[in-house]
Amino acid sequence: MYTLSKNLKLSAIIFMVVGALLFAVDAMYMPSSIADIEAMHAGDDHGESHDTAVSGEGHEAHEAIATAKGHGDDHAVASHQAEEGHAMSEAEHNQHLLDGYKNKPWSAVYVAAFFFFMISLGCLAFYAVQYASQAGWSPLLLRVMEGITGYLLPGSIIMLILLALSGFHFNHIFHWMADGITDPTSENYDKLIAGKSDWLNVPWLLIRAVIFIAGWNAYRFFAVKFSKEQDEATDNRSHKKSFKLAALFLVFFLYTESMMSWDWIMSIDPHWFSTLFGWYVLAGMMVCGITTIALITMILKGAGYLQSVNDSHIHDLAKFMFGFSIFWTYLWFSQFMLIWYSNIPEEVTYYIQRIEDYNLPFFGMLIMNFLFPLLILMNSDFKRVNWFVVMAGIVILLGHYVDIYNMVMPGTVGQAWSFGFVELGSLMFFFGLFVLIVFTSLTKRPLEPKRNPLIEESKHFHY
Amino acid sequence: MASTVIHAIYTDDDVLMNAVKEVKKKHLHINDIFTPFPVHGLDKAMGLAPTRLAITAFLYGCVGITVATVMMNFIMIEDWPQNIGGKPSFSYIENMPAFVPIMFELTVFFAAHLMVITFYLRSKLWPFKKAENPDVRTTDDHFLMEIDATGKDGEELANFLVTTGAVEINLIANEA
């Protein structure tokens, strides 16, 4: 049995407290009126209060673009607060920035919450694949996966609460939730969004979210229950039940994951749509889930647990990290290239905004998510060296945080983006929460399944 | 100089593996082993150096992506930068997404084909090559280990090989 060490628990709590403090302090100093924005613009004192150099540069770059294009540029159209497409006056422009700043703390929480939720969901899908494919190498790692998916319930409830808060107008992350947007008599009326309102309306969004979350958590609950039963059983009935359940779950998961990605991510840019978006989110999810399995396995093995795990298991996980990183890149590029090539205005604005305003994170994540793992994890020998895999894993996880950031931020904060204390704070908070919950749930049952039918094969797994 | 070799024939890959370990322990030199199918772990037991084919494939892939980039940069950007459907042909990077499928395919093409040709060259395989088969049964269900027996007591060696499970032992003297 694994016991949670005091140091780990304390570090996780410190991460949460420090994260929450950083978040609160920075959120307090967010510009709250047009006057604040004007003060930030005045003179050369960008970022005098709390903002980092990054956000200062952001403003300069943005001003340059705005001047060059006479305030009626493409990304004003792309940005959902200004779909009229007419030239923006200075006041409107400042209002636009202010809306972004108001969204900033909310979006920072949303990105971090989704990122850690996505790790546990990706891990759950990988877990189900192990059962459905009757993999012989992985049973030793099943308990690690069960531990990571322990975050699924809290993580998905946090996501549901965040969605509900958006639905009750506590923030403006989802533009399609705005008042009067589907009402032809309102000045907020948006014909395109009104046309999608059969799908995009708050009650139906929340009902869907509840169905998805209930389904995923039900699978997790029963899979863990069956795996516990199998430990004490005298036959393989629980294992077979788990096998069938895993197959059913994977069908359910593929549909719900796709819809979840439309609802929770794609609808942030409600004028834009992409058919392979669900796959793209799925690929990122799987990479993060597998990377986290590898990292936690190595931590546990390093601490003297999981003695039977050998470097062939790590090698296999590293192969999956490598393969899914490339799969993610394939989908990223397919989506980007198809839209770039055809250059249809209603689709391409999505990328214009990201390339103009988010250039560094947008292309930087390609180095972190593709080039780095490609070169580091290609060599078979490197995949057996723990610190190489750890290094690649950390870069991959950070890269996929940036990926989620790129999906959410342009539609919510637009040009007001930066990686400041709200983002860092919420990332630290959820990291601490994730570590606390995952390692606590690892203490709940023995780390090695006792009589899984494939456990002997897994113990002698050798590549 | 006349050299002698011993051909020891086995009928089971497990027995063969153990025999290889025994022979290695005695510090006898194994010239070659002929098997009808790949025996997992045989190369490790024989102490063969790992293959470097994967490294050559990586380098060939690098050549492929370079060829693709240089070719398309010359044709599409430098030599005749036309406006084709509004695609930006001012610099390579601006039009790069359109070139990526070709860059990818040529990388794979070069890596795969040149590696296969390297394999043929290194293992000396070609269409009209004369088969080097010491015993036709080794392509069906027999395993043959060839041991250098020059200057050794053939009788003693043969007796030792029988204890390792060989079903047939032939002493072959090459007059050269």
- Cβ distance of B97 and A378 shorter than 8 Å: no
Which of A341, A348, A375, A376 to mutate to test binding with chain B, by most B CBs within 10 Å of its CB? A341
Q: What is the nearest CA distance from B66 to chain A, expressed in angstroms?
A: 16
Per-residue confidence (pLDDT) for residue A87, from 0 to 100: 63
Nearest CA-CA partner of A269 in A77, A72, A78, A76: A78
Q: Which two tokens stand for residue A153?
A: 């319930």
Q: Give the predicted TM-score (pTM) of the model.
A: 0.89
What percentage of residues in chain A have a pLDDT greater than 90? 75
Average pLDDT of the residues in A306-317: 93
Banded pLDDT at A50 (limits 50, 70, 90): very low
Q: Is B5 helix (H, G, I), strand (E, B) or coil?
A: strand
- The Cα–Cα gap between A296 and A4 comes to 13
- Cβ distance of B100 and A341 shorter than 8 Å: no
Chain A residue with minimum CA distance to B97: A337
- Cβ distance of A343 and B97 shorter than 8 Å: no
Neighbours of A233 (CB within 10 A): 14
Banded pLDDT at A463 (limits 50, 70, 90): confident
- The Cα–Cα gap between B42 and A272 comes to 57
Average pLDDT of the residues in A265-287: 95
pLDDT of residue A296 exceeding 60, the answer is yes
Per-residue confidence (pLDDT) for residue A5, from 0 to 100: 85
Residue A283: left if φ>0, alpha if ψ -120 to 50, beta else—which one?
A: alpha
Higher pLDDT residue, A462 or A166?
Answer: A166
CA A220 from chain center: how many Å?
Answer: 20
- The Cα–Cα gap between A41 and B31 comes to 80
Per-residue confidence (pLDDT) for residue A98, from 0 to 100: 85
Per-residue confidence (pLDDT) for residue A71, from 0 to 100: 38
pLDDT in tens, A202-228: 999 999 999 999 999 999 999 999 999
Which of A322, A337, A338, A348 to mutate to test binding with chain B, by most B CBs within 10 Å of its CB? A337
Tell me if A86 sits within 8 A of A155, measured CB to CB: no
pLDDT in tens, B51-92: 999 999 999 999 999 999 999 999 999 999 999 999 999 999
Residues of B with a Cβ under 8 Å from any A Cβ are 54, 58, 86, 97-98, 100
Residue B41: left if φ>0, alpha if ψ -120 to 50, beta else—which one?
A: left
- The Cα–Cα gap between A105 and A97 comes to 14
Helical segments of A343-382, H only: 345-357, 359-366, 372-376
Order the strands of the B30-34 sheet from edge to edge.
B30-34, B143-148, B3-10, B168-174
Q: Which two tokens stand for residue B102?
A: 């070709």
pLDDT of residue A137 exceeding 90, the answer is yes
Residues 6 or more apart whose CB falls under 8 angstroms from that of B110 comprise: B60, B61, B63, B64, B67
Tell me if A402 sits within 8 A of A361, measured CB to CB: yes
Dihedral over alpha carbons A446, A451, A454, A456 (to 10 degrees) = 80
Return the sign of the alpha-carbon dihedral for residues A268, A273, A278, A281. Answer: negative
Average pLDDT of the residues in A165-186: 91
CA-based end-to-end distance of chain A: 27
Q: CA-CA distances (angstroms) from residue A162 to A101, A157, A254, A259, A329?
A: 18, 9, 23, 17, 29
Ranked by mean pLDDT, the top range of A41-50, A333-342, A410-419 is: A333-342
Output Rg (C-alpha) for chain A, integer angstroms: 23
Residue A49: left if φ>0, alpha if ψ -120 to 50, beta else—which one?
A: alpha
Token pair 């269900």 is found at B141
Q: CA-CA distances (angstroms) from residue A356 to A236, A350, A351, A415, B98?
A: 57, 10, 8, 10, 20
Helical segments of chain B, H only: 13-25, 42-46, 53-72, 96-122, 154-163
Burial of A294 (0-12, 13-18, 19+ CB in 10 A): buried
CA A378 from chain center: how many Å?
Answer: 25
Chain B residue with minimum CA distance to A378: B58
- The Cα–Cα gap between A115 and A373 comes to 19
- Cβ distance of A340 and B86 shorter than 8 Å: no
- Cβ distance of B86 and A343 shorter than 8 Å: yes
Q: What is the nearest CA distance from A348 to chain B, expressed in angstroms?
A: 14
Q: Is A83 helix (H, G, I), strand (E, B) or coil?
A: coil
Q: Which of A33-42, A72-81, A131-140, A193-202 has the lowest mean pLDDT?
A: A72-81
Return the ∠ at Cα A96 (arms to A92 and A98), rounded to 5°.
Answer: 115
- Cβ distance of A333 and B97 shorter than 8 Å: yes
Banded pLDDT at A61 (limits 50, 70, 90): very low
- Cβ distance of A341 and B97 shorter than 8 Å: yes
Residues of A whose CB is below 8 A from B94: none
- Cβ distance of B98 and A341 shorter than 8 Å: yes
ipTM, 2 decimals? 0.90
Tell me if A164 sits within 8 A of A176, measured CB to CB: no
Average pLDDT of the residues in A186-192: 91
- Cβ distance of B58 and A378 shorter than 8 Å: yes
In three-state form (DSSP H/G/I as H, E/B as E, the rest C), the secondary structure along B112-152 is HHHHHHHHHHHCCCCCCCCCCCCCHHHHCCCEEEEEECCCC
Token pair 């298991």 is found at A313
A353 residue type, one letter: Q
Q: Rounded mean pLDDT of chain A?
A: 88
Q: Is B3 helix (H, G, I), strand (E, B) or coil?
A: strand
What percentage of residues in chain A have a pLDDT greater than 70? 90
pLDDT of residue A431 exceeding 80, the answer is yes
pLDDT of residue A117 exceeding 70, the answer is yes
Per-residue confidence (pLDDT) for residue A69, from 0 to 100: 39
Q: What is the pLDDT along chain B (176 residues), one digit of tens a residue?
A: 568 889 999 999 999 999 999 999 999 999 999 999 999 999 999 999 999 999 999 999 999 999 999 999 999 999 999 999 999 999 999 999 999 999 999 999 999 999 999 999 999 999 999 999 999 999 999 999 999 888 778 888 889 999 999 999 998 887 65
Chain B residue with minimum CA distance to A339: B97
Q: Which of A46-50, A277-281, A434-438, B136-140 has the lowest mean pLDDT?
A: A46-50
Per-residue confidence (pLDDT) for residue B71, from 0 to 100: 97
- The Cα–Cα gap between A95 and A98 comes to 5
Q: CA-CA distances (angstroms) from residue A65 to A71, A414, A418, A421?
A: 8, 14, 17, 26
pLDDT of residue A81 exceeding 50, the answer is no
pLDDT in tens, A62-71: 444 443 333 3
